[in-house]
Amino acid sequence: MLDGPKFLSAEQYLLITQILKVAIMAALATMLVRYHRFRHILIFERRDWPDRRLFALGLGVPVTVGVISRLLLGYEAADLTLEGAFLAGLIAGPYTGALVGAMAGLPALAAGEYGALPFAIGCGFAGGGLREACPKEDIWHFTAFALLSLPRDLWRMSRTLVVNWRVLILTVPIGLELIRQAVGLRFGEHRLFFMGAPLPWLTLMTIAGTILTVATPIKIWNNARIEHRLHEQETLLLAARVEALKSQINPHFLFNTLASVSSLIRSEPDQARIVIQKLTGLLRRVLRSHEQFVPLREELAAIDEYLAIEVIRFGPRLSVLKDIDPATLDLVVPSLLLQPLVENAIKHGVSRKAGAGELTIRTARRGQVVVIEVEDNGLGIPADRLQAAMSSGIGLSNVRERLRVIYGSQGHVELAGTPGVGARARVEFPVLLAQEPPLTA
């Protein structure tokens, strides 16, 4: 049974209001960082005026709405004038801070709080001045825990005479809060809004609340910056890894082709000269292309040049068949994907077979999956040697690793063979159109 309404004491109301201020600012910072353009502004330190205006609107509009809520509804926890203006200046510069301060101060000025507008603009310029003076990374390293080490840091500064920017970033909002308290007490809350504290320890709680309200969004936004940097490093590492795998193919192919030329020089010098010319054209194509992904039609054109070399080498012993699905020609594939598969089929299948050999290249689209097969009618592979064949040579193991790095579990290679009948390498990976940026996983 209820005994009647219960009211908070002045001390309880003040503490709960400070907690709510921190919670509101944390929620606002979390919502803002979810927007790509706002996150972009946080990540890159060099910002032009459109970015600064966007930052000012993103932070200033909610802060202004909070001031209006206080004026109309008496919801004091929503007033984040000091923290919002100072934070905008600290992150985006003095003019952005002043703009946010002006947006927050105008409704209060209209309500007769004549000290609100100059104070709010001053908070923005104070944060912006700190930004211009201190190293930018020191801003992102600022946390509310700096309050605990403030006496030690002040003592160290006095002894070494070296500026500790963390202390300065901490002391400025403390000073602004003390100024607001002093002006409010002198001229009254109707001239400048402040949270009056009846006891000294509550004044300290008010100052701590101001620091937390500033430090919390900095922490949230810095986490987003760190996450972006980690993702960027992962992307660069992935690109370097794919490039390293790709670079294994060229020397491997070059070595085998030069070995073929060496065997032709004495017996068929004219053919050797033609092979060298074809090799020159193929290498020129490879050197011109620095793309990790190409349309399948370009990959097939490169394979044609490679097969021209092999047909010269083997003569009538080698015939090439193609079963190409036209729907696959504009699909994006990793560059130099087919060459190791074709080379592997010729080296381990056709070249070891007595008599004519046949190589077949097939492509197909099965829903959202690209299927490419390279089949030969060579000696085949026993079932107990399939796993070893996948991992021992450079060609198949390289293709398998590239697909795993690029597509994750969605890209894979299968090898099947029957002794005396032939072998088939089958590659599957997700569909990507030529106009789409290839995705990595």
Q: What is 224-242 written as a DSSP string?
A: HHHHHHHHHHHHHHHHHHH
Residue whose pair of structure tokens reads 């054209």 in the numeric block: 281
Closest CA to 378 of 413, 396, 354: 354
Residues 376/358, Cβ–Cβ less than 8 Å: yes
Strand runs (DSSP E) across 178-223, as ranges? Answer: none
Where does 141-199 have alpha helices with state H?
150-160, 165-187
User: Which residue reads 């002391």 in tokens?
Assistant: 171
Amino acid in the structure at residue 84:
G
Full DSSP string of 392-419: HSHHHHHHHHHHHHHHGGG-EEEEEEET
Hunting for tokens 């209001």 — which residue is that? 17
Asked if 419 contacts 379 with a C-beta cutoff of 8 angstroms, the reply is yes
Domains of the chain from N-terminus onward: 10-231 (1.10.1760), 268-430 (3.30.565.10)
Question: How high is the pLDDT of residue 372?
Answer: 93
> For residue 438, what pLDDT is reported?
44
Distance CA 93, CA 129 (A): 8
Q: What is the DSSP string of 287-354?
A: HH---SEEEHHHHHHHHHHHHHHHHHHHGGGEEEEEEE-GGGTTBEEETT-HHHHHHHHIIIIITTSS
Instruction: Give me the tens of pLDDT residue by residue for the chain, a chain 441 residues long.
Output: 445 455 667 778 888 888 999 999 999 999 988 888 888 788 776 677 888 888 899 999 999 999 999 999 888 888 999 999 999 999 988 999 999 999 999 999 999 999 999 999 999 999 999 998 888 888 888 887 766 777 777 777 777 777 777 788 888 998 999 999 999 888 888 889 888 777 788 888 888 889 999 999 999 988 888 888 777 766 655 665 555 545 544 565 677 677 777 777 777 787 778 778 777 776 676 655 556 788 899 888 888 877 887 777 777 788 889 999 999 998 888 877 887 888 888 877 777 777 788 899 999 998 889 999 999 888 888 877 777 777 665 667 778 877 887 787 788 888 888 888 888 989 999 887 654 444 443
Q: Report the distance separating Cα 397 and Cα 383, nearest Å.
A: 18
Contacts of 333 (CB under 8 A, 6+ apart): 293, 294, 295, 296, 299, 370, 372, 429
Q: Is the dihedral of CA 428, 432, 438, 441 positive or negative?
A: negative
Torsion of CA 331, 336, 338, 341, to 10 degrees: -150
Q: What predicted TM-score, i.e. pTM, was given to this entire model?
A: 0.59
